[in-house]
Amino acid sequence: MVLIKILGAIDVVAGIIFLMLIFGMNAPFQILLFFAGLLLLKGMFIITGDVLSLIDLASSLLFFISIFFSLPALLLWIPAFILFAKGFVSFI
């Protein structure tokens, strides 16, 4: 039960970092790399059959790409909203 809330908090914070990227705030390289790694590890739950872990893998990939390139806003809004939704549902 507590693990689900911790994983949900990771999703919410990752969504906040996506919003930082959308609105032009500079997220430090270490934070981007840390949350990309966390989402990559969370995405490994796809092996157990959790389909929503595919969202974590895609978000992790977008974090890694956003370190080097400036991505279009649409590619950042979609994972931000989905991560917020996953995070808030895990608190229910």
Give the pLDDT confidence of 7-21 residue by residue, as tens digits: 899 999 999 999 999
What pLDDT score was predicted for residue 45?
A: 81
Contacts by residues 65-69 (CB-CB < 8 Å, ≥ 24 positions apart) = 66/21, 66/32, 67/29, 67/32, 67/33, 67/36
What pLDDT score was predicted for residue 15?
A: 93
What pLDDT score was predicted for residue 78?
A: 93
DSSP state of 7: H
Rounded to whole angstroms, how far apart are CA atoms 57 and 12?
15
pTM score of the predicted model: 0.88
Quick one: pLDDT band at residue 82, thresholds 50, 70, 90? very high
Mean pLDDT (the chain, rounded): 90
What pLDDT score was predicted for residue 87?
A: 92
Rounded to whole angstroms, how far apart are CA atoms 10 and 35?
8
